[in-house]
């Protein structure tokens, strides 16, 4: 009799134990699910991970012709989540669709050196492929322009390696952009000086300078005045002293002569 | 799935703002390098008759020298040597051609690289001197400031200081400190006595304001510059011994009164910003603590209390009524800050062996103090929370040992600090820019000076 009672007791204990266990497990799972759904807005840092251009080997693009609009919209997510990258154009979008699976293994425990080397190799490849890709683009059918992406106005030309106003930069162009920007920074800094009586007074001004393909000044103007005309004069004088500027890479000639370079004194 | 859906929504929401982004080139230059402005200051023209010219040459020279010294110390200017001038300024008018007959030419000044040009002249009628000044920006060929000053001949230096203040105000928007004065204890009256003296910030116009033939120390200015509080070892009528009593001397009326004569030490006076209270160290037979006292001598509050017999001395009051003082409650004298009622005590120095004599900058953001680490004292400036400490002094004495630099006091414009240094063998007053880049000697004699305090500009 006792054994029977003990048996049933044990069974009861067991079932209640299982129930409790289930309940706790369910609680934990739902907690993490909810956390993942509603709070996982932290952007994953893709900057050290594979850039789009690394896997955006040009010949693969041609296979991606007719993606449905919904999918296309979801593609910009990874590049938009990158801290610095502006939204991608149409063509890189298509490429990106392929990247999430290959990216994931690289996200975890990225070896900086390895990535840098890979980047370098991929870039070299890119440079070689750039010409090839141009030819292929011209040969291929124009991309469908029913995408919601307004920047896809010139699908045949724009692929992320050539600039167009309001578009993104990826890969080769992005690196050239950064190199040019740091060259400019270094160059102008050499000429940026102020008399003591204007210094350390928290003046802030911004100016735009337009340069031609050889770095000569086409024009310059103050876009945000510091409020002190002498300070603004020193800003313009600094720009004048900095001529000629370092020659812009080919692809930026249009930008620096039309849009100009925005310079912050000091920011 | 939900994640993708949510991300899709956010993407659609942000896609419009995304397109507004540029990939234009944006360069942030950061801080500029700074350089001093080249200033051309030709000799003053005399507008009187040539016969009286030699008589008044000394007045002109005094004006010229005072302005030159003021503007050099300001650290904004570099004077161009007169031998480099292309124009004979005794032959050209104070204003430019073509508007003025025989006016000067901006080109002859831009050719030598001058950024600013001061053309000035003076005339004397009876006992009154008129100082006419024009400050030009050479590159822009425009007048920055044009002013005439009038006053008795004896006030020539004051006129020069006023002009220097105005130049700085016109350029930087902030007045200079050239009309300020310094109160200091010194043995220059002879013998073993130390008396209280006031002088211009540049050491001129020394005036003795105490004559107790005793030791008088730790003077302090009232905020309006009209009164000086100081401590003197005096023997009061009816008492047997000398006591370190605190007196207040009114500079305008000449009245002198005892304000705190409790037994023991009554010293280290520091006026509150409204001038109605004095913070001081009183020992009253116990360990010295800081008290708040009204100017009639009645104690208002005890601001510090030990702990455990620690000494709290040398109070300094900021413009927003915060206190800084030196206390050895942690073993060695260190600098502490607190509210004016003594609450919220914070220790802000941790290095060194003996940190004392704190002095607030006028904006309350920095504190200068004298700190000892290796056998001598040096002047340091730090933020009011103890961070960002820089050293201002590191001089050597004639015998090769490091000099002691003590008792710093900030200028009213917050750009300079004066202190005493014994690097010449005697305690002389020196002045340094707040970043330690330029140090100059103020007093140039063989007397000793102690505990100088800098006043506001005294108009």
| Mean predicted confidence (pLDDT) in B184-198 | 94
Answer whether the bond into residue B31 is a cis peptide, omega within 30°: no
What per-residue confidence (pLDDT) applies to A58?
Answer: 39
Q: What percent of chain A has pLDDT over 70?
A: 59
Six-digit token pair at B315? 């109070």
In which band, very low, low, confident or very high, does the pLDDT at B11 lie, cut at 50, 70 and 90? low
Statement to judge: residues B212 and B319 lie in one domain = yes
Least confident of A253-257, B131-135, B274-278, B292-296: A253-257
Per DSSP, A151 falls in state G
Statement to judge: residues B409 and B435 lie in one domain = yes
Contacts for A138 with CB less than 8 Å, ≥ 6 apart: A156
Report yes or no: B130 at the A interface, CB cutoff 8 Å. Answer: no
* Residue B14 with chain A: CB contacts under 8 Å: 80
Statement to judge: residues B329 and B434 lie in one domain = yes
User: How far is the C-alpha of B378 from the C-alpha of B432, rounded, in Å?
Assistant: 12
Decide which of B152, B172, B192 is a domain's last residue. Answer: B172
User: How far is the C-alpha of A68 from the C-alpha of B364, rounded, in Å?
Assistant: 65
User: How far is the C-alpha of A229 from the C-alpha of A209, rounded, in Å?
Assistant: 18
Of A70, A195, A238, the CB nearest to B115: A195
What tens digit of pLDDT does each residue of B350-391 get?
999 999 999 999 999 999 999 998 889 999 999 999 999 999
CB contact under 8 A, B25 and A180: yes
User: How far is the C-alpha of B135 from the C-alpha of B116, rounded, in Å?
Assistant: 7
Decide which of B147, B172, B197 is a domain's last residue. Answer: B172
What stretch of H or E contains B200?
Answer: strand B195-200
Rounded to 5 degrees, what angle do the CA atoms B347, B352, B355 make? 60
- Residue B19 in any domain: the answer is no
Strands B195-200 and B180-186: what pairing? Answer: antiparallel
Question: What per-residue string of b and e applies to A227-266 under the rule 16 or more CB within 10 Å gives b?
Answer: eeebbbebbbebbeebeebbbbbebbbebbeebbbbbbbb
Instruction: Domain count for chain B, please give it.
Output: 2
Burial class of residue B247 (count of CB atoms within 10 Å of its CB; 0-12, 13-18, 19+)? buried
CB contact under 8 A, A163 and B76: no
Block residue for tokens 């802000």: B348
CB contact under 8 A, A193 and B23: no
Statement to judge: residues B201 and B153 lie in one domain = no
Statement to judge: residues B190 and B91 lie in one domain = no
Six-digit token pair at B267? 């010293």
User: How far is the C-alpha of B210 from the C-alpha of B212, rounded, in Å?
Assistant: 6
Statement to judge: residues B313 and B418 lie in one domain = yes
Statement to judge: residues B153 and B228 lie in one domain = no
Cβ atoms < 10 Å from Cβ of B443: 25
Statement to judge: residues B294 and B338 lie in one domain = yes
What tens digit of pLDDT does each residue of B328-354 get?
999 999 999 999 999 999 999 999 999
Block residue for tokens 């000793």: B448
Decide which of B172, B203, B228 is a domain's last residue. Answer: B172
- Residue B15 in any domain: the answer is no
* Residue B75 with chain A: CB contacts under 8 Å: 196
Residue B12 pLDDT exceeds 70:
no
CB contact under 8 A, B3 and A40: yes
Least confident of A102-106, A193-197, B104-108, B218-222: A102-106
What tens digit of pLDDT does each residue of B73-96 get?
999 999 999 999 999 988 899 999
Helix, strand, or coil here: B206?
coil
Distances (CA, A) of A97 to A92, A100, B53, B157: 9, 7, 91, 80
Statement to judge: residues B219 and B314 lie in one domain = yes
Strand partners, B184: B197
- Residue B48 in any domain: the answer is yes
- Residue B253 in any domain: the answer is yes
A190-265, CATH topology level: 3.30.1150
Dihedral angle sign, alpha carbons of residues A10, A11, A13, A18: positive
What tens digit of pLDDT does each residue of A188-235 get?
999 999 999 999 888 999 999 999 988 899 999 999 999 999 999 999
Statement to judge: residues B281 and B349 lie in one domain = yes
Helix, strand, or coil here: B151?
strand
What per-residue confidence (pLDDT) applies to B210?
Answer: 94
Contacts for A116 with CB less than 8 Å, ≥ 6 apart: none
- Residue B14 in any domain: the answer is no
Q: Could you give the dihedral angle defined by the CA atoms of residues B66, B67, B71 and B73, in that order, rounded to the nearest 10 degrees? A: 0
ipTM above 0.95, yes or no: no
How crowded is the C-beta side of B54, counted as CA atoms within 13 Å?
1
Dihedral angle sign, alpha carbons of residues A108, A114, A120, A126: negative
Residue B401 pLDDT exceeds 70:
yes
Whole-model pTM: value is 0.72
CB contact under 8 A, B8 and A73: yes
- Of the candidates A37, A53, A43, A38, the one whose C-alpha atom is nearest the C-alpha of residue A81 is A43
Q: How far is CA A266 from the centre of its chain?
A: 25
Per DSSP, A35 falls in state I
Q: Could you give the dihedral angle defined by the CA atoms of residues B386, B388, B392 and B397, in that order, rounded to the nearest 10 degrees? A: 70
Render B96-130 in DSSP notation, one character per residue: BTTTSTT-B-HHHHHTTT-SEEEEEEEEEETTEEE
- Of the candidates B357, B365, B417, the one whose C-alpha atom is nearest the C-alpha of residue B393 is B417
What does the domain layout of chain A look like in residue ranges? 25-142+155-162, 190-265
What per-residue confidence (pLDDT) applies to A140?
Answer: 60
Nearest C-alpha of chain A: how many angstroms from B452? 28
CATH number for the domain spanning B84: value is: 3.40.50.10070
User: How far is the C-alpha of B186 from the C-alpha of B453, rounded, in Å?
Assistant: 13
Domain that holds residue B368: 180-457
Report yes or no: B23 at the A interface, CB cutoff 8 Å. Answer: yes
- Of the candidates B187, B180, B99, the one whose C-alpha atom is nearest the C-alpha of residue B136 is B99
Six-digit token pair at A69? 């609009």
Contacts for B297 with CB less than 8 Å, ≥ 6 apart: B258, B259, B260
Strands B45-46 and B116-125: what pairing? Answer: parallel
- Residue B132 in any domain: the answer is yes
Q: What percent of chain B has pLDDT over 90?
A: 79
Residue A60 pLDDT exceeds 70:
no
Counting every residue written for chain A, the total comes to: 267
- Of the candidates B120, B113, B119, B155, the one whose C-alpha atom is nearest the C-alpha of residue B138 is B113
Statement to judge: residues B103 and B241 lie in one domain = no
User: How far is the C-alpha of A182 from the C-alpha of A190, rounded, in Å?
Assistant: 13
**Closest chain B residue by Cα to residue A238:** B32
Six-digit token pair at B230? 């100081």
Residue of B16, B18, B23 to mutate for A, most A C-beta atoms under 10 A: B23
CATH number for the domain spanning B405: value is: 2.120.10.30
In which band, very low, low, confident or very high, does the pLDDT at A106 lie, cut at 50, 70 and 90? very low
How many helices (H) does chain B have, and how many strands (E)? 5, 32
Nearest C-alpha of chain B: how many angstroms from A62? 25
Nearest C-alpha of chain B: how many angstroms from A113? 28
Helix, strand, or coil here: A39?
helix
Statement to judge: residues B157 and B202 lie in one domain = no
């Amino acid at each position: 009799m006792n054994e029977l009672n003990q048996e049933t007791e044990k069974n009861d204990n067991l079932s209640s134990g299982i129930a409790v266990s289930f309940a706790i497990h369910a609680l934990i799972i739902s907690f993490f699910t909810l956390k993942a759904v509603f709070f996982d807005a932290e952007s994953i840092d893709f900057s050290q991970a594979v850039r789009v251009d690394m896997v955006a080997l040009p010949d693969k693009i041609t296979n991606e012709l007719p993606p449905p609009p919904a999918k296309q919209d979801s593609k910009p997510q990874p590049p938009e989540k990158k801290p610095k990258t502006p939204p991608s154009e149409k063509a890189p979008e298509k490429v990106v669709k392929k990247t999430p699976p290959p990216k994931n293994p690289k996200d975890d425990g990225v070896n900086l050196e390895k990535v840098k080397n890979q980047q370098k190799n991929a870039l070299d490849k890119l440079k070689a492929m750039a010409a090839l890709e141009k030819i292929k683009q011209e040969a291929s059918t124009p991309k469908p322009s029913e995408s919601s992406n307004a920047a896809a106005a010139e699908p045949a030309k724009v692929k992320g390696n050539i600039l167009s106003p309001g578009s993104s930069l990826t890969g080769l162009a992005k690196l050239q952009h950064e190199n040019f920007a740091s060259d400019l920074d270094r160059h102008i800094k050499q000429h940026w000086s102020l008399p003591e009586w204007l210094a350390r007074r928290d003046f802030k001004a911004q100016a735009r300078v337009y340069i031609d393909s050889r770095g000569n000044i086409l024009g310059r103007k103050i876009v945000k005045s510091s409020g002190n005309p002498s300070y603004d004069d020193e800003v313009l004088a600094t720009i004048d002293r900095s001529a000629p500027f370092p020659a812009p890479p080919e692809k930026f000639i249009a930008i620096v002569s039309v849009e100009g370079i925005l310079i912050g004194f000091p920011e | 799935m939900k994640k993708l859906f949510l991300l899709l929504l956010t993407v659609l929401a942000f896609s419009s703002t995304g397109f507004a982004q540029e990939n234009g080139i944006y360069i942030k230059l950061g801080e500029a390098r700074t350089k001093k402005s080249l200033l051309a200051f030709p000799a003053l023209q005399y507008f009187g008759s040539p016969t009286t010219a030699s008589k008044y040459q000394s007045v002109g020279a005094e004006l010229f020298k005072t302005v030159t010294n003021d503007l050099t110390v300001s650290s904004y200017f570099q004077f161009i040597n007169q031998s480099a001038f292309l124009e004979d300024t005794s032959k050209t008018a104070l204003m430019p051609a073509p508007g003025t007959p025989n006016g000067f030419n901006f080109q002859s000044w831009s050719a030598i690289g001058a950024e600013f040009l001061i053309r000035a002249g003076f005339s004397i009628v009876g006992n009154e001197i008129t100082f006419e000044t024009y400050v030009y920006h050479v590159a822009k060929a425009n007048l920055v400031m044009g002013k005439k000053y009038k006053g008795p001949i004896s006030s020539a230096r004051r006129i020069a200081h006023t002009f220097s203040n105005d130049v700085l105000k016109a350029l930087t928007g902030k007045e200079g400190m050239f009309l300020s004065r310094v109160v200091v204890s010194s043995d220059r009256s002879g013998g073993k006595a130390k008396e209280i003296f006031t002088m211009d910030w540049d050491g001129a116009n020394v005036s003795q304001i105490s004559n107790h033939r005793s030791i008088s120390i730790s003077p302090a200015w009232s905020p309006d510059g009209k009164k000086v509080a100081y401590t003197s070892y005096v023997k009061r009528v009816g008492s047997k011994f000398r006591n370190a009593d605190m007196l207040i001397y009114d500079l305008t009326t000449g009245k002198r009164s005892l304000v705190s004569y409790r037994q023991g030490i009554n010293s280290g006076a520091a006026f509150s910003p409204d001038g109605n209270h004095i913070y001081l160290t009183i020992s009253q037979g116990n360990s010295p603590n800081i008290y708040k006292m009204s100017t009639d001598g009645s104690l208002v509050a005890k601001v510090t209390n030990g702990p455990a017999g620690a000494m709290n001395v040398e109070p300094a009051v900021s413009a927003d009524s915060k206190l800084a003082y030196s206390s050895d409650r942690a073993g060695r004298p260190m600098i502490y800050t607190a509210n004016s009622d003594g609450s919220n005590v914070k220790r802000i120095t941790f290095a060194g062996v003996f940190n004392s004599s704190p002095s607030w900058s006028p904006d309350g953001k920095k504190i200068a103090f004298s700190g000892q680490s290796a056998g001598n004292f040096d002047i340091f400036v730090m933020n009011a929370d103890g961070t960002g400490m820089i050293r201002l002094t590191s001089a050597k004495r004639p015998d090769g040992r490091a000099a002691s630099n003590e008792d710093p006091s900030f200028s009213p414009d917050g750009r300079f600090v004066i202190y005493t240094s014994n690097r010449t063998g005697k305690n002389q007053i020196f002045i340094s820019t707040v970043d330690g880049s330029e140090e100059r000697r103020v007093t140039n004699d063989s007397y000793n000076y102690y505990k100088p305090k800098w006043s506001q500009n005294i108009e």
